[in-house]
Amino acid sequence: SNDFVPKLLGSALKLNRTLVELNLSHNAIEDKGIGELAEALKESKGLRVLNLTDNNVGDLGARYLSESLWENDTLNVLNLKYNSIGYTGAFRIARSLQINQTLTELSFDSNNIEDEGADHLAEALKVNETLLKL
């Protein structure tokens, strides 16, 4: 993956107050690049929709995103379809859903979360009152 692009986007997102939707699908960002974007998400105050479909995001990338969801209070939609997230990544995202109160839609289609990952997400939904679509 090209490390420069996620780093540049991350810097821009930290300052952003007007961009509300960012579609980064099919860009081979991978876990390291997701780490850069996730750091920016912690501070982002404008972004509402982030599409990361088909970026080879694995459990490490899911961990980065989950950490950003603990702090981000503006993101409403996160699309993680067609990545490589396993049950460990699903567990981390599920933990953040117990805290996050702004995410209303999370897409996990075509990952490798298995039954155990699905169970973790189901447990999180018992606590989370804002997520409307999973």
DSSP conformation class of 17: S
CB 77 within 8 A of CB 104: yes
Q: What is the pLDDT of residues 76-99, one digit of tens each?
A: 999 999 999 999 999 999 999 999
pLDDT for residue 91: 96
pLDDT at 3: 63
pLDDT at 134 (0 to 100): 81
What integer pLDDT is reported at residue 45 of this predicted model?
85
**What are the tens digits of pLDDT across the range 2-56?**
566 667 777 777 777 788 999 999 999 999 999 989 998 998 888 999 999 999 9
CB 9 within 8 A of CB 38: no
